């Protein structure tokens, strides 16, 4: 398959908002591929140079791409590249290491770009920078795979829960059909999508949604990990299914030496801790996340503890269909009661509130409420798992917005947020596209376009007049923004038409909130 045909597909996908048309276009394209081409094609469509389960990385930044384009010279007039050529070039770039690796990556990328047409270069740039802007998401990819393979979409969805990599699901569907998809299940060293939780307003909602009983676990402000072990071989994946084994040697050592069973898959969290044992801010933990060099030194600066809360497979027996209560009992036996999440099955709301208060006082995010009769549903988000926490809010001013893509195409839907800087201006603190309904996106687009003072085709800068109440999980130090701070997991709670821009939260107030937050957690000395 030529890269030019792939580029034409991407152009057609970007030009339509129709789900049915996108499904048909991608399905027909996949059907025309050789089986060996399928994994790379699906990876490229999802803005990845390699399939999701492939641990290789390119380490190509915008600056590297810019330098490679300059070295490549004018775009080719005629298309000559195939998808296989691109996959081979990406493999060569990923293999570069040691002294001169950056120079080698740039040269290899320049060689690829020199053979690409202008349209092909745009597509390659989207893959390399992780932004295709063609309006595809996992659900559409799954429907397209079903269309291409001539199988029911429910079979593809089920396989995707266990295989977690759309490229592998597509390969299996197109090479083995329905029978292959039906055989997909929990596999060692193939990470599952993690089960997720919805947010609950309080324990009244928890008890109503989980009538068979709720088990409360402390919700740690850490990083999700999925640990696979067979004998002495241990591998660890993040929530985003990136392998992080090399970054967490102490966790691998626990899995290898302190837990029972020769074969298991466990779900848990790693938390950075200070010298006094209090949890560190999430940002400090991220200093060592995916770190593969100088790990020992970073581990001394940011020690972590492991908290386990689920068992998905033990000694060849999948556990995902077992109820939560049975999985917890298995986990408790496997661990001997060590390294477990703090847990309570409350008798009433008063006990639940006390457990939440204790978790918050200890510097944690809140609590998880898990239905004791619930199976483990990979990739699912619902009321079987609920999270209860005290979200903070600030009032921000929208100072710019990006044009959306896919379903949000035609709307200004990624909002640049800022606080009052105390000198008559506004200091940025992050972006969010979360919190508004479709109708509100449309209304906000009309409103912001009337306030526009600049538009580069991607970002519209506006007069700072619209105030929104923004919920967030944490305030982080950030050199990216002039304020010096960024709101983690920001989402708009409501538009504050009752407030003017000068009534927005001030930078001084935001800094005070950051210091109050830090007082409840340990801190690592030095810059973030």
**Who's near 510: CB < 8 A, 6+ residues apart?**
394, 419, 429, 475, 483, 485
**Who's near 495: CB < 8 A, 6+ residues apart?**
440, 444, 466, 467, 468, 469
Q: Are 285 and 521 in contact (CB under 8 A)?
A: no
**Who's near 293: CB < 8 A, 6+ residues apart?**
none
Give the tokens for residue 163. Answer: 């295989």
Q: Are 232 and 372 in contact (CB under 8 A)?
A: no
Q: Which residues form the catalytic set?
A: 219
Mapped onto helix, strand or coil, the DSSP state of residue 208 is: helix
**Who's near 404: CB < 8 A, 6+ residues apart?**
410, 411, 412, 413, 414, 433, 441
Distance CA 57, CA 51 (A): 11
Residue with the two structure tokens 């295709």: 132
Distance CA 223, CA 244 (A): 11
Give the strand pairing for 214-219 and 196-199.
Answer: unpaired
Q: Are 218 and 387 in contact (CB under 8 A)?
A: no
Residue 477 sits at φ, ψ, to 5 deg, of -65, 140
Distance CA 195, CA 197 (A): 7
Q: Are 367 and 316 in contact (CB under 8 A)?
A: no
Distance CA 390, CA 112 (A): 50
Distance CA 87, CA 77 (A): 21
Strands (E), 273-391: 304-314, 317-318, 343-344, 366-371, 381-389
Residue 73 sits at φ, ψ, to 5 deg, of 80, -160
Q: Are 387 and 303 in contact (CB under 8 A)?
A: no
Percentage helix, strand, coil for the chain under 3-state DSSP, each rounded to 5: 40, 25, 35
Distance CA 204, CA 202 (A): 6
Q: Are 400 and 460 in contact (CB under 8 A)?
A: yes
The neighbouring-strand residues paired with 215 are 370
């Amino acid at each position: 398959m030529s890269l030019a045909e792939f580029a034409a597909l991407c152009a057609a996908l970007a030009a339509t908002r129709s789900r049915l048309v996108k499904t048909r276009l991608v399905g027909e394209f996949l059907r025309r591929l050789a089986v060996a081409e399928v994994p790379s094609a699906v990876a490229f469509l999802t803005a990845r140079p390699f399939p999701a389960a492939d641990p290789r990385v390119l380490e190509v930044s915008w600056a590297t791409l810019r330098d490679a384009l300059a070295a490549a010279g004018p775009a080719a007039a005629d298309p000559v590249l195939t998808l296989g050529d691109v996959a081979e070039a990406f493999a060569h770039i990923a293999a570069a290491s040691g002294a001169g690796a950056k120079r080698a990556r740039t040269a290899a990328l320049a060689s690829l770009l020199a053979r690409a047409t202008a349209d092909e270069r745009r597509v390659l740039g989207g893959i390399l920078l992780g932004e295709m802007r063609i309006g595809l998401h996992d659900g559409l990819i799954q429907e397209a795979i079903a269309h291409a393979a001539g199988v029911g979409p429910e079979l593809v969805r089920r396989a995707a829960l266990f295989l977690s990599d759309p490229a592998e699901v597509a390969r299996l569907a197109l090479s083995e059909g329905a029978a292959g998809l039906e055989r997909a299940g929990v596999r060692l060293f193939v990470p599952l999508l993690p089960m997720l939780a919805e947010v609950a307003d309080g324990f009244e909602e928890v008890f109503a949604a989980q009538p068979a009983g709720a088990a409360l676990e402390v919700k740690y402000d850490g990083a999700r990990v999925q640990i696979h072990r067979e004998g002495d071989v241990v591998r660890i994946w993040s929530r985003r299914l990136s392998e992080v084994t090399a970054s967490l040697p102490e966790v691998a050592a626990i899995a290898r030496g302190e837990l029972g069973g020769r074969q298991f898959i466990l779900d848990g969290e790693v938390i950075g801790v200070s010298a006094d044992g209090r949890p560190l801010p999430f940002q400090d933990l991220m200093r060592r996340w995916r770190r593969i060099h100088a790990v020992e030194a970073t581990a001394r600066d940011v020690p972590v503890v492991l908290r386990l809360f689920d068992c998905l497979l033990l000694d060849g027996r999948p556990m995902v269909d077992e109820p939560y209560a049975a999985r917890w009992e298995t986990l408790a036996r496997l661990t001997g009661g060590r390294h477990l999440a703090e847990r309570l099955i409350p008798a009433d709301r008063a006990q639940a509130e006390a457990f939440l208060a204790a978790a918050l006082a200890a510097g944690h995010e809140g609590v998880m409420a898990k239905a004791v009769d619930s199976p483990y549903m990979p990739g699912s988000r619902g009321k079987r798992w609920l999270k209860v926490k005290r979200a903070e809010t600030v009032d921000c001013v929208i100072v710019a917005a990006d044009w959306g893509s896919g379903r949000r195409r035609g709307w200004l839907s990624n909002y640049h947020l800022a606080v009052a800087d105390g000198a008559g201006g506004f200091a940025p603190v992050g972006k969010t596209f979360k919190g508004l309904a479709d109708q509100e996106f449309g209304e906000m687009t009309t409103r912001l376009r009337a306030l526009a003072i600049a538009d580069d085709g991607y970002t519209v800068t506006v007069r700072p007049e619209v105030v929104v109440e923004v919920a967030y999980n944490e305030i982080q130090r950030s050199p990216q923004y002039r304020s010096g701070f960024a709101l983690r997991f920001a989402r708009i709670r409501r538009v504050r038409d009752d407030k003017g821009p000068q009534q927005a939260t001030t930078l001084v107030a935001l800094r005070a909130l950051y210091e109050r937050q830090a007082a409840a957690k340990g801190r690592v000395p030095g810059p973030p």
